[in-house]
């Protein structure tokens, strides 16, 4: 697992998750939060890529990006776009609740089941409770 997590960083959220090489081709980074909570901030650094990248997050302790069945293990509950050559931050006032833990991956398409990795590393940061 390339993601790291710490606790008690701000009043906003107690968990900081950092994934320096978010990808889909090697599978999802699983259960990065270790359980239920809320997402308050998502930052995606796609500055190294000439095409958009999509962060997909599933409320589950595991996920399979290649699963294409409707509501299957590869269907994300949250999806965020990072334009080419950009770093973007999404703030979620009040937070978005999740119940099982978060598993995440990055791909070049919003299509469920897409496992095409961005050509360069995408860096993802989350602040959660």
pLDDT of residue 7: 56
pLDDT of residue 60: 94
Half-sphere exposure of 56 (CA within 13 A, CB side): 31
Which stretches in the chain have pLDDT values below 70? 1-2, 4-13
Return the HEC string of 28-90: CECCCCCCCEEEEEEEEECCCCCCCEEEEEEECCCCCCCCCCCCCCCCCCEEEEECCCCEEEE
pLDDT of residue 73: 84
Confidence (pTM):
0.89
C-beta separation of 63 from 100 below 8 A? no
pLDDT of residue 2: 67
């Amino acid at each position: 697992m390339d993601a790291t997590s710490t606790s008690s960083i701000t009043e906003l959220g107690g968990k900081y998750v950092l994934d320096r090489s978010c990808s889909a081709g090697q599978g999802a980074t699983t259960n990065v939060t270790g359980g239920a909570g809320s997402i308050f901030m998502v930052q995606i650094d796609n500055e190294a890529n000439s095409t958009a990248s999509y962060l997909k997050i599933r409320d589950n302790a595991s996920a399979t990006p290649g699963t294409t069945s409707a509501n299957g293990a590869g269907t994300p509950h949250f999806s965020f776009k990072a334009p080419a050559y950009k770093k973007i931050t999404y703030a979620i006032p009040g937070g978005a609740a999740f119940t099982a833990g978060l598993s995440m991956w990055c791909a070049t398409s919003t299509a469920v089941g897409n496992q095409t990795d961005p050509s360069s590393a995408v860096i993802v940061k989350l602040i959660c409770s």
